[in-house]
Structure 1
Amino acid sequence: MQSLIKAVTRPLDSLAAWSADIPLRLFLAWEFLESGLEKWNGDNWFAQIHDAFPFPFNYLPASFDWQVSMWAELIAPLLLLLGLGTRFASAALAVVTVVAIAAVHWPAHWSTLAELAQGYSISDNGFGNYKLPLIYLVALLPLMLKGSGRLSLDALLRRR
């Protein structure tokens, strides 16, 4: 039985070393690039919510935060696609996501864990909507911890 398990898992382990991170990189690159392009083509609405930004971002000008967020969401996804600076790009996107959760997605008022749990949704019914950004954070975590796999520019640079 163990030899059968090894026969099945050995090729999967080999494949995983080359490609396990690729679905995460593609998913996150798409999601964040889409958000960055919305900012690129849209108007700065950060001034309306800037008081909700966590420290130190609430002390910076809203226009500066808008630019930093937009450029992070345009450049970091391209780095993820290439597998270049994957840990740095993932960390930058995690910071953007935490600020977004604090400023936009976290419920404005809650007094019990049950009320807070109601915000774990994709639609805002007055309780926040932090489910999707939390999914992004969970997906970014393995890339921050492990970096990109063997099929990346990071791996190519490490080999040289």
Structure 2
Amino acid sequence: MQVRAIIGVIGAGSASPQAEAWAYEIGRLIAERGAVLVCGGLDGVMRAACRGCAEAGGETLGILPGSEAQAANPWVTYPIVTNMGHARNVIIAHTAQALIAVDGEYGTLSEIAVSLKLGRTVAALGAWPGIPGVFYVDSPRAAVDLVFQRLAENEK
């Protein structure tokens, strides 16, 4: 059995149109690479990334903060109910083999921090500048190319 890569897409639940456009494209590119997308399963960046992934034939995991699977955005393939609030961010960081941060707020920052502590690759597009260890990119394609390149290098 071949295990598919799981790539996290993180960012604000209330996102700018630019951030949502980037997230949509990132989700589409993740699906085209045959990977699974994991996110917080709600709105904004998460919704746009899930939509891009789903419309390209991919699968999405939504790690939800609440107790209702119905809270997931309509493009979440598998809603994971945690009833853990923001603590679910740790689950996202542990589940993703690499993360792509788009824009983002404090929840995004917490996921970046946990991922870096775990030694994961984190690419950032318009998110939290100046964090040591984060790879800053200028396009959705650059973000996706970077995380897949780093995953391939780590498998050697």
Same topology, TM > 0.5: no
Which protein shows a greater Rg? 1
The TM-score by the shorter chain falls in which range?
under 0.3
Give the alignment's TM-score, normalised by structure 2: 0.27
Higher helix share: 1
Q: TM-score, normalised by structure 1?
A: 0.27
Structure richer in strand, relative to its length: 2
